[in-house]
Amino acid sequence: MQLDRKKSIGSLLALATCSLLSSHQATAEESRWKFDTALLYYDEDERVTAVEPVFAASKTFADDSKISLKLTLDSLTGASHNGATISDQPQTFTGPSGSSSYTIPAGEIPLDDTFKDSRGAVSVQWTGPFKDGRSWSAGANLSAEYDFNSFSLNGGMAQEFNKKNTTLNLGISIEQDQISPVGDTPLEGSLYSDQIKKGSDEDKTIVDLLAGVTQVISRNTLMQFNVGLSHSSGYMTDPYKIVSVLESADLPLDYVYESRPDTRDKVSFFWKTKHHLETDVIDVAYRYMTDDWGIDSHTLDFHYRWQKEGFYIEPHLRFYQQTAADFYRTNLTGSPAPGIPGSINIDALPSEVSADYRLSELDSTTIGIKLAFDMGKDSELSFRLEKYSQSGDTDPADLDALIFQAGYSFYF
């Protein structure tokens, strides 16, 4: 009996010490800003190279409310597939501005190397304190690049139940984009050789709804399930992409500007589990997405955090698979119009068509590793190296990219 009492006093003391320590730690975090800085280097084999520095700052206040600010810069150079098929003859294309042209040798993927862009984005996110188990959040994002501007607002609510073991999340985001294509907007479905323009500014709106439940399963396991609905309307065509019109297997007669539907509805189901193995952590996520363009996709993401003294190693594997959009074609077919030189007839020109391989049947794999060092005083230095590989039915869909990231996080 006496022993029992001693034991329970002992555990009470331990508990009290723990809560004292944890409240002290919380105070230390409250008074300081957390800074996260990182640099991303992304390099595709013979295509796009991107360099992206990010600077983020966040602060948690005494009432547990939190503010986060983020600045992202993005610099892109290189070449991207213009949609045309590979030919056994050289192909000459006019750059989007109309003042330059580029020639693709026979047998090579038509890549537009006039592609160059830089982007700047800022975002601010605020999460309110929990009152009666409920917390509100709001945020805004602004992004600008040469031919594209985007602004979005989001709002959300989190409700805790069952001793904070269950959290229900609801969120809404509204994004407004403005697209100003270089050399104006080509008329969708029109002949490339005609260079017909329909305007200079286009826009689109994206409304996202997200509902999710996060559930503590046990001391070691946490699970999340989200359902997302997304409705896009407006200009979703890529103004720089074309579709080859072929007379025979390799002989292009002309090209047409691609044309995509002006609405898109997507539904996604997302499940994520984190499991703590006392030292290491397993993180598994799966997403199923389906839309009214005919695209269904499966994504499986796996991280294993191998915790060592003062550092951790985290291997990463990701598998992605999608079906093609209904309006995806590798090319169209046609023939020279009899008696009218330079004119062509296109066999069954669909109202919507795109040869963008990103809308084709596609598989991709990411394999990578992250190494992070504890630098003391809650600061961390990390490096990430990954290889991303895409493969599909056409040569442009076969792509390898290298992802390298260096990051440093600290409190100040």
Considering only residues 229 through 268, tell me which ones interact with another protein, judged by CB under 8 A.
230, 266, 268
Q: Among residues 141, 160, 143, which one has the least CA distance to residue 208?
A: 141
Rounded Cα distance between 405 and 262, Å, is 36
Of the candidates 104, 206, 245, 253, which one interacts with another protein according to CB under 8 A? 206
Site membership for another protein, residue 369 (CB under 8 A): no
CB of 227 to another protein, least distance (A): 10
CB of 98 to another protein, least distance (A): 19
Site membership for another protein, residue 127 (CB under 8 A): no
Of the candidates 193, 284, 403, 411, which one interacts with another protein according to CB under 8 A? 403
* Closest to another protein by CB, 89 or 162: 162
Of the candidates 5, 24, 131, 163, which one interacts with another protein according to CB under 8 A? 163
Site membership for another protein, residue 218 (CB under 8 A): yes
Site membership for another protein, residue 214 (CB under 8 A): yes
In sequence order, the 6+-apart residues with CB closer than 8 A to the CB of 297 are 287, 288, 289, 290, 320, 321, 322, 323
Ranges assigned E (strand) in 292-330 = 296-308, 311-322
Of the candidates 111, 246, 355, 359, which one interacts with another protein according to CB under 8 A? 359
Element containing residue 3 per DSSP (H, E): helix 2-30
CB of 6 to another protein, least distance (A): 19
Of the candidates 40, 196, 381, 385, which one interacts with another protein according to CB under 8 A? 40
* Closest to another protein by CB, 171 or 252: 171
Of the candidates 162, 200, 263, 343, which one interacts with another protein according to CB under 8 A? 162
Of the candidates 33, 102, 136, 148, which one interacts with another protein according to CB under 8 A? 148
Site membership for another protein, residue 373 (CB under 8 A): no
Of the candidates 91, 185, 322, 394, which one interacts with another protein according to CB under 8 A? 322
Place of tokens 């309110």: 128
CB of 197 to another protein, least distance (A): 18
DSSP 20-51: HHHHHHHHHHHTSEEEEEEEEEEEETTS-EEE
Say if residues 308 and 281 touch (Cβ distance below 8 Å).
Answer: no
Cα-based torsion angle of the residue sequence 37, 411, 305, 404 in order, rounded to the nearest 10 degrees:
10
Of the candidates 220, 263, 326, 343, which one interacts with another protein according to CB under 8 A? 220
Cα separation values, 257 from 157, 353, 409, Å: 43, 9, 46
3-state secondary structure 50-85: EEEEEEEEEEECCCCCEEEEEEEEEEEECCEECCCC
* Closest to another protein by CB, 134 or 164: 164
Of the candidates 57, 65, 78, 117, which one interacts with another protein according to CB under 8 A? 117
Place of tokens 């190693």: 313
